[in-house]
Amino acid sequence: MTDTLQPETSPVTRTLPRGHITADVLKDAGITFVIALLLFGSIVGLRTDTVNGVLVLIPQFGKALALATAVAVGRLLLDVFIWRRMTDGRTFASLIPSALPVLKVAGAVGVTFGLALYSIPGFRASLVAGAGSGHPALGAITDLITFACESTFLVIAAMSIVRAARLVIGQTPDEAVGQGILRRFTADFGREFPIALLLIALALPMLTAGPSQRYAIDTATQILIYVMLGWGLNIVVGLAGLLDLGYVAFYAVGAYTYALISTQFGWSFWVCLPLAGFFAALWGITLGFPVLRLRGDYLAIVTMAFGEIIRIVLLNWQSLTGGPNGINRIPKLTFFGLPFERTGDGTFASVFGLKFDPLHRMVFLYYVILALALLTNFITLRLRRLPIGRAWEALREDEIACRSVGINTVTTKLTAFAIGAMFGGFAGSFFAARQGFISPESFTFMESALVLAIVVLGGLGSQLGVVIAAVILIGSAERFRDLEDFRMLIFGLSMVLVMIWRPRGLMSGRTPSAFLNARKNISGSFVKEGRG
């Protein structure tokens, strides 16, 4: 009977001789395209809208076509690289190593391209405009590619500078000897990459020029606000393992504290900042007390409710907060007492003998939030190495064991809430000072969800992860502003994908807070998420 045995085949994997594959795969993709077109044609392709009270049908077949193409291409790629196998049982993916030289050359070309783009500022604009004249989508794609090349070039340049500096002071990563150039370059990636990011962040206002400069600095400021919020929430969720869905409440408390005190009493930002932190921390403790006994989902729901309570109070306490109209004319930040004004004596521009430029203020704001964020990071990293930080992490790992070694879990949880809230309050008052106008609309549940998404996507407890996730989420949200309809779709899709491929976030695992012989990173699979 053995000779009649069939070779094992899984439902999707098919083994075909090489020549057949092209025809087979194309047929498959074609069918997928037709099915997708039928589905999307009715769902996306026809849109109903009310114009002047009349229901009208707006055809959007272009969008439907684009989506169906995307699906078909995805199917094609899966087919070629994962499902179909050649007669010898290998997938096409197994051929990638032999394509490595090609990829390397492509990478080098990309970086050179980035260098070229970077050194000739007008180049990118004309390139994008040229492509965009063919089709707007083409322009967007060209823009994205050139932007990616530029960023890669920047990161590589910054990392080279860091490496060069380390070599000058006589530090060589030991793995760096006698291997390929790529290997050698990334030998100490974990240490050098954050420093390179810091360098880029510090130099950012100088790195951009031309018409995109204002946009770049503004976006970077926006990203840094979220980095700071993410770092603050990381203390509560990532370290102490307390799932907090109402973090925006502290952001709001900080913003309104600055807005009210500065408009009512005329106190300066730097005096209000500690106060905002203090009030937010106080609110953190107030919130912490009733939820101490709650865990997991229950904690999440109650904190979410607290976030909403704050917003609704702000909305209804007309006499104090101005209700839905918010607070107007909040004093802007000054440069140590020198306002950034167009006219008048003693302004920043007149004192330094410069021509007035709104950019001055933006750059200053950028550096203020950068300093605040770095302060948050510095304090968090120090706290992690202190008994309190270790107690937070122990709490996340096992609350009962904590009590058995004499840790007061009540105060430990409350400090986590308070310190996390304090940083949220700082970020809030910066937000108010930057915006000059705040209203309850800025503090909806969506903000809490976004900050939590940053923390989870980055990897619970990872400081670098928060930065990367904030750049991806906020940065892409800014860049894809024109694609408004699809923004949330892409956001949701990317979250789902990340949760499938990297369920513990982009930077999973943790660095131990102390070591005896050598510091080894701990794989994320051992680290608990905390149950409240």
Query: With binding defined as CB under 8 A, does residue 526 bind other proteins?
Result: yes
Question: Contacting other proteins (CB under 8 A), which of 224, 235, 454, 527?
Answer: 527
> Residue 405's closest CA among 420, 390, 418?
390
Regarding 20 and contact with other proteins (CB under 8 A), the answer is no
Binding mask 368-397 for other proteins (x = CB under 8 A): -----------x--xx--xxx-xx-xx-xx
Is residue 510 close enough to count as binding other proteins by CB under 8 A?
A: yes
Q: Is 398 in the site for other proteins (CB under 8 A)?
A: yes
Q: Applying CB under 8 A, which of residues 20, 135, 183, 519 lies at the interface with other proteins?
A: 519
Contact call for residue 513 and other proteins (CB under 8 A): yes
Nearer to other proteins, 191 or 519 (CB): 519
The nearer residue to other proteins, 342 or 520, going by C-beta atoms, is: 520
Output the smallest distance, CB 14 to other proteins, in A: 40
**401 in contact with other proteins (CB under 8 A):** yes
**479 forms part of the interface with other proteins (CB under 8 A):** no
Query: 361 or 396: whose CB is closer to other proteins?
Result: 396
What is the smallest separation between the CB atom of 525 and other proteins, expressed in angstroms?
A: 8
Beta carbon nearer to other proteins, 211 or 387: 387
Provide DSSP, 372-437.
HHHHHHHHHHHHHTSHHHHHHHHHHH-HHHHHHTT--HHHHHHHHHHHHHHHHHHHHHHHHHHHS-
Among 1, 181, 405, 500, binds other proteins (CB under 8 A): 405
- What does the alpha-carbon distance between residue 121 and residue 123 come to, in Å, rounded to a whole number? 5
# of chain residues touching other proteins (CB under 8 A): 39
Smallest separation (angstroms) from other proteins to the CB of 191: 18
SS3 56: strand
User: Exposed (0-12), middle (13-18) or buried (19+): which is 397, by Cβ within 10 Å?
Assistant: middle
**Member of 34, 105, 403, 492 binding other proteins (CB under 8 A):** 403
Smallest gap from Cβ 521 to other proteins, in A, equals 10
State the nearest-atom distance from the C-beta of 16 to other proteins, in Å: 44
* 292 part of the interface to other proteins, by CB under 8 A: no
Q: Which two tokens stand for residue 177?
A: 């000897």
Strand partners, 56: 49
Q: What is the DSSP string of 484-518?
A: HHHHHHHHHHHHHHHHHH-TT-TT-SB--S--SS-
Candidates 137, 29, 38; CA nearest to 74 is: 29
3-state secondary structure of 14: strand
* Residue 491: CB minimum distance to other proteins, A: 29
522 phi-psi bin (left φ>0, alpha ψ -120 to 50, beta other):
beta
- CB nearer to other proteins: give 398 or 478: 398
Residue of the chain from 5, 57, 169, 400 that contacts other proteins (CB under 8 A): 400
- Taking the complex as a whole, the smallest distance from the CB of residue 503 to other proteins amounts, in Å, to 15
**Helix, strand, coil share (%) of the chain residues, nearest 5:** 70, 5, 25
Task: State the nearest-atom distance from the C-beta of 386 to other proteins, in Å.
Answer: 4
Contact 256, 313 (CB under 8 A): no
Q: Could you tell me whether strands 84-85 and 14-15 are parallel, antiparallel, or unpaired per DSSP bridges? A: parallel
User: Segment near other proteins (CB under 8 A), from 175-183, 194-202, 228-236, 517-525?
Assistant: 517-525
528 near other proteins, rule: CB under 8 A: yes
Report the distance separating Cα 288 and Cα 411, nearest Å.
10
DSSP 116-131: HHHHSHHHHHHHHHHH
Helix ranges (H only) for 234-353 are 248-265, 269-291, 296-316, 318-321, 348-351
Helix, coil or strand: residue 68: helix
74 or 503, CB closer to other proteins?
503
Query: Residue 405 has which token pair?
Result: 């070694």
Q: What is the DSSP letter of 81?
A: I
Record the tokens describing residue 67, joined without a space: 């989506």
**Residue closer to other proteins (CB basis): 397 or 478:** 397
User: With binding defined as CB under 8 A, does residue 421 bind other proteins?
Assistant: no
For other proteins, which is the closer residue by CB, 2 or 404? 404
Q: Find the shortest distance in angstroms from Cβ 528 to other proteins.
A: 6
Asked if 522 interacts with other proteins (CB under 8 A), we say yes
Name the residues that contact other proteins, by CB under 8 A: 379, 382-383, 386-388, 390-391, 393-394, 396-398, 400-409, 415, 510, 512-520, 522-523, 526-528
